[in-house]
């Protein structure tokens, strides 16, 4: 054989079918990769020898498209350039591989509802939530499935749970729901000259006259003296009233106070550090001058104390008698643009926030 022919046969025969061995190894290392096989896999080298540090076991299983190789990071092309993406109808997933699907809330009835809050003859929880105004039943089912609902302190995620609306304590996102539709809480803008009582033996105008058209038996939460005006809460919910009145749940109250003259700058420090009264020291949570003219000053004061006439006594103690006092806020409940002598029913969010603030 000539040297020219020898070189051709040594090259594997350019233009000819390559011999078994090196030619097949090269084709297996590159050509097979384009058909989904391992690209440059460890077991595809000439003569079947694995690469340094590799093993024949890796060579037989590693590579693009193989489940074990993908987990171990073996082989380039983990994204599978040579294979169509799964789910396009061109290639079915291999055994042991499940197509990823988005998780959806389970809407079916659970086989075993949570017994610690489940009442067999009660009402489905999603229906109770919908009746409380939280949205459609479908939306309420989503709230439950997302773990945002608690019943009697237990987080509920199952849709088959039934509860007793008259007894269950339900919170959504930490906010208490009032499930008893017979209970109502009103915000009243008490006018000046009206006493904070449902009956006055002296015959003075009382807040009872302002809610005479209401069918509920209401009672006031806290009070304002006759000369003061502004926000007052009325309710037939005894539990809420007791919590609001309890010293351990003193709710912040905001007042807009008008006094005579120009108030000195050091008055703010006195209010914030505490003023000594005959029944003890009272400290303001906030003090802010709203407006000031030559003959009067308007100040906003925030207090937790519920003592009788406490705001008037504090200003008298520092030498500035009050000419007008309006309560503008009780906790999260604002007076807003409510006209004097009128009422409004608290909304679900307002009431829930108020109840949560006093531990309900």
pLDDT tens-digit map of 159-178: 889 998 888 888 898 888 88
Within 10 A of 294 (CB to CB), how many other CB atoms are there? 7
pLDDT of residue 213: 92
pLDDT tens-digit map of 10-22: 444 444 444 444 4
Overall CATH class of domain 123-176: alpha beta
For the chain, what percent of residues have pLDDT higher than 70? Answer: 68
91-115 CB burial, b ≥16 within 10 A, e <16: eeeeeeeeeeeeeeeeeeeeeebee
pLDDT of residue 305: 87
Active site residue 173: no
Overall CATH class of domain 184-249+340-360: alpha beta
Query: Is residue 81 scored above 60 in pLDDT?
Result: no
Residue bearing tokens 């603030």:
357
* Token pair belonging to 217: 């038996």
- The rounded distance, in Å, linking the Cα atoms of 304 and 21 is 91
pLDDT of residue 94: 56
202-213 CB burial, b ≥16 within 10 A, e <16: eeeebbbebbee
Q: Do domains 123-176 and 252-330 have the same CATH topology?
A: no
Residue bearing tokens 């104390």:
305
Q: Could you say which of 3.40.50.460, 3.10.20.30, 1.10.357.10, 3.30.70.1560 is the CATH number of the domain covering 252-330?
A: 3.30.70.1560
Predicted confidence band at 3 (pLDDT cuts at 50, 70, 90)? very low
**Catalytic option among 200, 225, 227, 295:** 225
pTM comes to: 0.63
């Amino acid at each position: 054989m000539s040297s020219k022919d020898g070189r051709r046969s040594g090259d594997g025969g350019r233009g000819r079918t390559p011999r078994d061995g090196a030619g097949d190894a090269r084709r297996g290392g590159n050509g097979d990769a384009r058909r989904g096989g391992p690209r440059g896999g460890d077991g595809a080298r000439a003569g079947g020898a694995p690469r340094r540090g590799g093993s024949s076991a890796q060579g037989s299983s590693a590579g693009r498209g193989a489940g074990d190789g993908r987990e171990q990071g073996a082989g380039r092309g983990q994204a599978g350039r040579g294979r169509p993406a799964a789910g396009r109808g061109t290639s079915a997933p291999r055994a042991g591989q499940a197509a990823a699907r988005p998780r959806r809330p389970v809407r079916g009835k659970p086989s075993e509802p949570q017994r610690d809050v489940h009442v067999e003859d009660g009402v489905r929880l999603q229906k109770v939530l919908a009746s409380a105004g939280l949205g459609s039943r479908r939306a309420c089912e989503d709230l439950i499935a997302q773990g945002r609902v608690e019943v009697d302190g237990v987080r509920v995620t199952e849709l088959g749970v039934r509860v007793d609306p008259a007894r269950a304590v339900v919170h959504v996102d930490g906010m208490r729901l009032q499930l008893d539709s017979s209970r109502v809480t009103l915000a009243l803008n008490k006018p000046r000259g009206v006493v904070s009582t449902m009956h006055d033996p002296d015959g003075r105008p009382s807040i009872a006259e302002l809610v005479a058209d209401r069918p509920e038996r209401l009672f006031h939460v806290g009070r304002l003296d006759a000369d003061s005006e502004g926000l007052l809460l009325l309710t037939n919910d005894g539990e809420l009233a007791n919590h609001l009145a309890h010293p351990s749940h003193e709710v912040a109250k905001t007042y807009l106070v008008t006094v005579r003259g120009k108030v000195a700058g050091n008055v703010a420090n006195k209010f914030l550090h505490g003023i000594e009264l005959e029944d003890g020291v009272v400290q303001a949570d906030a003090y802010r001058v709203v407006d000031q003219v030559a003959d009067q000053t308007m100040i906003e004061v925030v207090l937790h104390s519920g003592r009788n006439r406490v705001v008037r006594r504090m200003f008298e103690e520092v030498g500035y008698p009050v000419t007008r006092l309006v309560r503008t806020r009780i906790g999260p409940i604002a007076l807003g643009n409510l006209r004097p002598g009128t009422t409004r029913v608290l909304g679900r969010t307002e009431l829930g926030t108020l109840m949560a603030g006093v531990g309900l």
